Amino acid sequence: MSIPRKGRFALLSAAAVSVVAAASIAVIGSAEAASTLGASAAQTGRYFGVATSAFKFSDTPYMTIVNREFNSLVAENDMKWDATEPQQGRFTFTNGDRLVSHAQAHGMTVRGHTLLWHAQQPSWAQGLSGAALRNAAINHVTQVATHFRGKIHSWDVVNEAFADGGSGARRDSNLQRTGNDWIEAAFRAARAADPGAKLCYNDYNTDGINAKSTGIYNMVRDFKARGVPIDCVGLQSHLGTTLDSTYQQNIQRFADLGVDVQITELDVQQGSNQANIFASVTRACLAVARCTGITVWGVRDSDSWRTGQNPLLFDAGGNKKAAYTAVLNALNAGGPTTPTSPTPSTSNPPVPAGCSARVTLNSWTGGYTATVRVTAGSSPVNGWSVGVTVPSGGAVTNAWNATNTSTSGPVTFRNVSYNGSVAAGGFTEFGFQGTGTGPTANPTCTAG
């Protein structure tokens, strides 16, 4: 992090009010009360997750708690850029794969953290700029999201891209200097690579209505208006000794934009208010139907990145703290269930058989990323090809979820093994990256 830890909590505290101490918590009858965090959250359709690392999987007391309490995992570090692409174009997924395997074997979902961030970049990326960095970054998004395709509940596509303080503006970074559209380019590439994952923007010091969270709110509203694929906002919630009085209101305003909200990195500085703050955050999430899950940033106090602040739910000996009981009771008190996926509309007019394709471009000086949606007509499609004309002077440099044999002029993209079958009225997406100017003419689509 480029922001000193101390500074972050000071900023939070400045706009914060004290949480009322010793709030009493209503608990439903013990016959209905679940006895673990994950099981209790699941009663309202939510998850309760934890950040972990593959190197801790051999710690038996630690894993006993992980397996008992949580139904979602996120990699504290193992899926970051420096961990997954230590050398350009050479990917290492060993630790991320171990985390996913463990989660799958225990019926847990996985949050992906994080595809692009100004911090924890490999040194080769830190040395790039301009189109070279943009291409490398989008390729990173594509390769990593493709590798984990179908296994990730939600991706933090972009992490911490907004500045602290009162500006509500983007943070300066090497990624930001590639052009303001780098965030939407990343979201489009992630959608093309893994259409089933929810795509989140994640940040800290957003734990109430303030200039930074409003800057993010405006970006999400703009993305929704322009059709940039975004599904969720992550509020990290690294909290100090007070909680902003607008914490729930802030969750609600994002939900009202039509995105899910997830509490993604919750930890709270030890102090007399710790249990109350944990419980208040839990209640705030439960009160908003689109707040779909909570993740704590570590298991025991001794596992935390906030050394000495004892900000978690278990002490160093693995014992449940008062904060644990407060969270469990808040979860068991319930709240509205999370909404299920929208049912596709059946009122659309009939569409012809065959398929159609449409392309969305994210362009920058000297290059672009294209996302192509292939939509089946009134009959199922078994195999498809899409014809695109690449403007002269440019060429396709790589493609995902499709194959191509030529790279310039007229280029035909064909389905790969897993996306040739599209149900009637359904769609699949592929993408490609190119140099020069992106194709502007409508692509053709041929079924069969």
For ligand G3I, which residue of 36, 43, 77, 437 counts as binding (CB under 6 A)? 77
Give the nearer residue to ligand G3I in terms of CB position, either 119 or 132. 119
Q: Is 76 in the site for ligand G3I (CB under 6 A)?
A: yes
Give the nearer residue to ligand G3I in terms of CB position, either 164 or 265. 265
Binding mask 148-177 for ligand G3I (x = CB under 6 A): -----------x------------------
Q: Least separation, in Å, of the C-beta of 53 and ligand G3I?
A: 7
Q: Least separation, in Å, of the C-beta of 235 and ligand G3I?
A: 11
Catalytic residue among 69, 76, 85, 160: 160
CA distance 447 to 126: 44
User: Does the annotation mark 160 as catalytic?
Assistant: yes
Give the nearer residue to ligand G3I in terms of CB position, either 310 or 415. 310
Binding mask 97-126 for ligand G3I (x = CB under 6 A): ----------------------xx------
Give the nearer residue to ligand G3I in terms of CB position, either 65 or 355. 65
Q: Least separation, in Å, of the C-beta of 39 and ligand G3I?
A: 26
Q: Is 211 in the site for ligand G3I (CB under 6 A)?
A: no
Catalytic residue among 85, 184, 265, 429: 265
User: Does the annotation mark 69 as catalytic?
Assistant: no
Binding mask 213-252 for ligand G3I (x = CB under 6 A): -----------------------x----------------
Q: Is 267 in the site for ligand G3I (CB under 6 A)?
A: no
Binding mask 279-318 for ligand G3I (x = CB under 6 A): --------------------------x-------------
Query: Which residues lie near ligand G3I (CB under 6 A)?
Result: 1, 76-77, 119-120, 159, 204, 236, 265, 305
Catalytic positions, written as ranges: 160, 265
